[in-house]
Amino acid sequence: MDRNKVRVRFAPSPTGALHIGGAHTALFNYLYARHMGGTFILRIEDTDGQRSTKEYEQTIMDGLRWLGLDWDEGPDKGGSYGPYRQSERMENYRKYAEQLLDEGKAYESDGAILFRVEPGKLIQFHDEVYGDIKVMSEKASVNMDNTIKDIVIMKKDGLPTYNYAVVIDDHLMDISMVIRGEDHVINTPKQLLIFDALGFERPSFAHLPMILGQDKKKLSKRHGATSVFEYCDMGYLPDGIFNFLALLGWTPRDGKEVFTRQHAEEIFEINQVTKKSAVFDFKKLDHINQEQMKLMTGHDLYDAIAPFWKKMGLPVESFEREHLENCLVAMGGRGSTTIQLAEYSDYFLDFNCVKSRYDGKDITEELRPKLKAIYNELLEKWGQGTHDHLYNTAVEVFAAHESNMKEAATPMRWALTGRKVSPGLFEVAALLGKEEVANRLKFYGLL
Ligand code: GLU
């Protein structure tokens, strides 16, 4: 085995969608592989025939792709270490079980094959995150009453167990480092006994910290969304989730919490991962997601927002794409999720959204004639309707009518957007165009 070759794997069991914990593990494998110029492998651990399905395998792959965690070898991609589904690798498990039986290191009982755990062996390994770990073999696999428990490697149905199959595959696939969740630290000594018994070279290990909910309990369904696609539906971007997950257990050495994938790939170091449990904080996710949206071009923003506009029933197709891209850029980083940004910008697509939240009843009859005069003049002097022109003209017109931004701009903002806050009013006006601005002001009796 070429020890200089970095090969890591993400090994999900297809018994559910890609959840946050799995995505976190996949991400760290991916970052490490990319940083080292190594190979990232997807291995499907589907030996639990009862619970594994092809549909879940598909959703897991879709989830990884959505997050942009592309693998180099896997069931769909192939590679020279395949097959990449455990259910297609049965002869390997049988072959090594035979070897262990022949060497007296395993025995048959009740139709199952068990690996014999010899007492008195010190199992030591270095974990890149947890440090040096030492366990006596008699403590590595125990029954309820603390007596040694031999390890079942092949069940009586002929299928291998996780702790056994993982060793055979990690060896045959030349895995150089096993990066997985901390819940597997406890399995590692058992796996090492099998590695050693078969004379396989051991990989290195890095166990990732546990992810906790805000109540400091292990993250689970109780904490809400677990599958990555639920996060998509909630308005989080792949880049937002990527950035946020990377921070669960890792702090970049430059201390900057908002980064691009490329930057993370460049500076990621596995030994900077901490073992301290990481808390899944939605406020932080919102912040990171918003910062990631700020880094996006109008083109990418459009792709992220248009589906949500469509879901809201807004007439996306009636506009030129480029125009809507400009509207999104004008939003200037408002909104922490794509859903929020889609909602905050709804007035660019449909005046009905404005009407449904603003009735214009706050405009006093004393003020109305003055506002009408101002807006009429502003529309007469519309010119090319650029932001700068409209802004400068408004300043002059407001002053000429002894008014000011607060008095004259506020009602106009409400009439155009139905909101108290929006991007610069004249930017909005410029994007809506003269006709639409006139239409909206007229509706509220302001023209
Ligand atoms: N199939 C195991 C799991 O999903 C893989 C654990 C490992 O990476 O060894 O937990």
DSSP characters for 369-423?
A: HHHHHHHHHHHHT-TT--HHHHHHHHHHHHHHTT--HHHHHHHHHHHHHSSS--S
User: Which residue from 171, 184, 192, 202 has its CB within 8 A of the most atoms of ligand 1, so it is best to mutate?
Assistant: 184
Arithmetic mean of pLDDT, 332-341: 96
| Burial category of 269 from C-beta neighbours within 10 Å (exposed 0-12, middle 13-18, buried 19 and up) | middle
Arithmetic mean of pLDDT, 330-358: 97
Based on its alpha-carbon atoms, the radius of gyration of the chain, rounded to whole angstroms, reads: 30
**Is the Cβ–Cβ distance between 7 and 74 less than 8 Å?**
no
**Does residue 301 surpass a pLDDT of 80?**
yes
Among protein residues, the one with the nearest Cα to ligand 1's atom 10 is: 12
Under DSSP, is residue 426 helix (H, G, I), strand (E, B) or coil? helix
**Is the Cβ–Cβ distance between 38 and 9 less than 8 Å?**
no
**Does residue 2 surpass a pLDDT of 80?**
no
| Burial category of 111 from C-beta neighbours within 10 Å (exposed 0-12, middle 13-18, buried 19 and up) | exposed
- What is the model's pLDDT at position 188? 98
- Binning pLDDT at 50, 70 and 90, where does residue 1 land? very low
12 vs 217: which has the higher pLDDT: 12
Q: What is the distance in A from the centroid of ligand 1 to the CA of 113?
A: 21
Arithmetic mean of pLDDT, 393-397: 97
Atom of ligand 1 nearest to the CA of 179: 8
Arithmetic mean of pLDDT, 291-319: 97
- Binning pLDDT at 50, 70 and 90, where does residue 251 land? very high
**Does residue 272 surpass a pLDDT of 60?**
yes
Among protein residues, the one with the nearest Cα to ligand 1's atom 5 is: 11
> Which helix or strand (DSSP H or E) is residue 134 part of?
strand 131-136
**Does residue 3 surpass a pLDDT of 60?**
no
Average pLDDT, the chain: 96
- Binning pLDDT at 50, 70 and 90, where does residue 432 land? very high
- Binning pLDDT at 50, 70 and 90, where does residue 420 land? very high
* Distance separating alpha carbons of residues 81 and 73, to the nearest angstrom: 8
Helix (H) and strand (E) counts for the chain? Answer: 19, 11
Arithmetic mean of pLDDT, 363-378: 97
Residue environment code for 285-316, b if the CB has 16+ CB neighbours within 10 A, otherwise e: bbbbbbbbbeebebeebbebbbebbeeeebeb
Could you report the per-residue pLDDT of 136-185, keeping only the tens digit for each? Answer: 999 999 999 999 999 999 999 999 999 999 999 999 999 999 999 999 99
